[in-house]
Amino acid sequence: MSAAWDLGSWSREHLECVEQALSRWVGQGAPAGLGDAMRYAVLDGGKRLRPLLVMAAYEAALSARQSTWGAAERSGADEAALRAACAVELIHAYSLVHDDMPCMDNDVLRRGKPTVHVQFGEAQALLAGDALQAFAFELLTPDDERIPGAVQASLCRQLAHAAGSAGMAGGQAIDLASVGLALTEDQLREMHRLKTGALLEGSVMMGAACACVPPQAKAALQAYGAAVGLAFQVVDDILDVIADSATLGKTAGKDAASDKPTYVSLLGLAAAQAYASELLAAAHAALADSGLPDARALAALADMVVRRSH
Amino acid sequence: MSAAWDLGSWSREHLECVEQALSRWVGQGAPAGLGDAMRYAVLDGGKRLRPLLVMAAYEAALSARQSTWGAAERSGADEAALRAACAVELIHAYSLVHDDMPCMDNDVLRRGKPTVHVQFGEAQALLAGDALQAFAFELLTPDDERIPGAVQASLCRQLAHAAGSAGMAGGQAIDLASVGLALTEDQLREMHRLKTGALLEGSVMMGAACACVPPQAKAALQAYGAAVGLAFQVVDDILDVIADSATLGKTAGKDAASDKPTYVSLLGLAAAQAYASELLAAAHAALADSGLPDARALAALADMVVRRSH
């Protein structure tokens, strides 16, 4: 643990691998128009929080390994983590493409660029989202004997659960049904736990699974993932109120304009900010409980999630 | 091989299992509105050709097994085949939901019922399709030790490839870009090989994978799947011209009305019918080459695909 460790350098190093892998893989073999839309949706944009959570959890779990791996096993685990990092980003990217469509949020600006359906048309956007979801599962299941079948299957299981009706898609359905309704804090938390939290928590658990995390650390990482996932959404709601569109790279003030329940509308701004701080403390406490020797990247990512400005 | 074997009884028996499983699984744990839309999209309709191909290929591959399985291994393989049968149907169902949406084919009638977006709204239809795709991969990766991780991973790999940009979604993108264009027969075949053929062929190969099909039979089954997949589309194009909407359970004459290239528009009706017969003969020849002791169900399904009236 050198004193020189900082999140910026760590992130740059890992994101370089992730960006290169995404650029190499996404849209490969796709008919031209579809491949273009897929690449536009994924490349050159986004904070890549989910891939970073995968890599951070993978490294933290690696730091706790007692038994030693041979070179092939280790390179297989590294490859699995990189693929998992890309797969969660593909799921995130596809959900944004579909979310932005006219029948959903009808948004025209995303990451400072026209949304996919504005750029490529609605039909192509629909297909690009569908193809990105399928590709996430294809990435997790390479014909590569270095990655055990059980690990591949476990990654697919976790991603499918996080993305599906008991995860992200389910949360979006609740969101859709909640516009204009007065939700309780419990209902709002449940919606966000599914809509945003499931994939963030899934990212942590998938990273940990690539290094076969020890059982005692698994529950702690789950608690960390749940706290960070919820904190992310609370901060999103806060930023929607206090930031402007240029900083966010998307349309600000959308929630209030579309009469969506948020933590700010429910708790007020000051209480929402206090809640975000509480969740950050819970994330750090979970890492302390985990017994993982080196969870610096996970700790720093939690800080970044709560303290970000966009 | 009793003389009493017939496709009708065989299909009824297997479809009962598939329908029960789909009814038990689909929409479970989903928020109410989303679960309803998912179930509406999947249950009570459709020929279930893809699940039948999975089950038929599984049984054919089983008939060639030299080594014996213990009870747990056999029940795990049966369970894997059932899950694969349901998963391919979920992918098919989600593709129909998205295909019918206003930004794609804008169809209001499917299997004799209002399409999902007509019944539940566009946003819910979009989410239901997305959730069905995720659920297909969740079904393939149960936390069930009877099904080896390598089998689960292989099923996911094949399904993701068949559904994604180098399969179904890619074919739909080519279809989208082809409206009003004069395609060559090669281009039309490539479009259909991806759009419809990939998932039909994938169904055959996934069923075979559940019983660890012998290598020499694998190539033959691939040829069978490719021939049946293409024949299915040729017959679809023929039926679009010669059948009426009531028989089809969907709007007839759509292809000509929307100026889409088809085998009938390219070859003429008689030559398209002759081509379907050729492909059927190729499917039977592949089964004869496979060396599989009992491929009766696969043979009968090929006949059904070409001789169906809807």
pLDDT in tens, B230-248: 999 999 999 988 887 666 5
On chain A, the residues whose CB falls within 8 A of the CB of B156 are: 137, 140-141, 152-153, 156
pLDDT for position A263:
92
pLDDT at B254 over 80: no
Closest CA to B184 of B259, B249, B266: B266
pLDDT tens profile A154-194: 999 999 999 999 999 999 999 999 888 888 889 899 999 99
ipTM for this model: 0.95
Predicted local confidence at residue B61, as pLDDT: 96
| Interface touch A166/B35, C-beta < 8 Å | no
User: Residue A270: exposed, middle, or buried by beta-carbon count in 10 A (0-12, 13-18, 19+)?
Assistant: exposed
State how far the Cα of B2 lies from the Cα of B4, in Å rounded to an integer. 5
State whether residue B63 is helix, strand or coil. Answer: helix
Q: What is the mean pLDDT of residues A32-36?
A: 92
Separation in Å, CA of A2 to nearest CA in chain B = 39
Whether residue B30 has pLDDT greater than 90? yes
More confident residue, B2 or A205: A205
Place of tokens 């050709």: B49
Q: Provide the pLDDT for residue B300.
A: 98
What percent of chain A shows pLDDT beyond 90?
Answer: 78
Give the predicted TM-score (pTM) of the model: 0.95
Of A34, A165, A177, the CB nearest to B131: A165
- pLDDT reported for residue A195: 94
* Tens digits of residue pLDDT in B198-216: 999 999 999 999 998 988 8
**pLDDT attached to residue B179:** 80
The predicted structure's pLDDT at residue B32: 78
Q: Are residues B156 and A152, on separate chains, in Cβ contact within 8 Å?
A: yes
Q: Is the pLDDT of residue B21 over 90?
A: yes
Inspect the interface and report whether the beta carbons of A30 and B176 lie closer than 8 Å.
Answer: no
Read off the amino acid at residue B223. A
Q: Are B57 and B298 in contact (CB under 8 A)?
A: yes
State both tokens at B89: 């149907």
Does residue A222 register a pLDDT over 70? yes
Given pLDDT bands bounded at 50, 70 and 90, which one contains residue B111? confident
Domain locations along chain A:
7-307
Q: What pLDDT is attached to residue A38?
A: 98
pLDDT, position B243:
81
Do B126 and A130 count as a contact with CB atoms less than 8 A apart?
Answer: no
- C-beta atoms of B137 and A127 within 8 A: no
How far CA A29 is from CA of A21, A38, A106, in Å, comes to 15, 11, 30
Nearest CA in chain A to B124: A173
> What is the sign of the dihedral through the CA atoms of B181, B184, B188 and B190?
negative
**Which of B29, B131, B157 lies closest to A141 in CB terms?**
B157
Determine whether the interchain pair B159/A137 forms a contact, defined as Cβ–Cβ distance below 8 Å.
Answer: yes
User: Chain B partners of A174 at a C-beta cutoff of 8 Å?
Assistant: 31
What are the phi and psi torsion angles at B123 (to 5°)? -65, -45
pLDDT given for residue B156 in this prediction? 98
Q: Which of B126, B156, B169 shows the shortest C-beta gap to A156?
A: B156
Q: Work out the pLDDT band at A247, boundaries 50, 70, 90.
A: low
Which has the closest alpha carbon to A283: A213, A184, A204?
A204
C-beta of residue B205 within 8 angstroms of C-beta of residue B286: no
pLDDT score of A214 more than 90: no
Tell me the shortest Cα–Cα distance from B230 to chain A, in angstroms.
Answer: 19
Kindly report, residue by residue over B152-188, the tens digit of the pLDDT.
999 999 999 999 999 999 999 999 998 888 888 898 9
pLDDT tens for A142-160 read 999 999 999 999 999 999 9
Across B136-154, average pLDDT: 97
**Is A141–B156 a contact, with Cβ atoms under 8 angstroms apart?**
yes
How high does pLDDT run on average in chain B? 92
> pLDDT for A39-71, tens place per residue?
999 997 788 999 999 999 999 999 998 777 888
Q: Any idea what DSSP says for residue B195?
A: I
**pLDDT at A254 exceeding the cut of 80:** no
CATH 2.60.40.1220 holds for B7-307: no
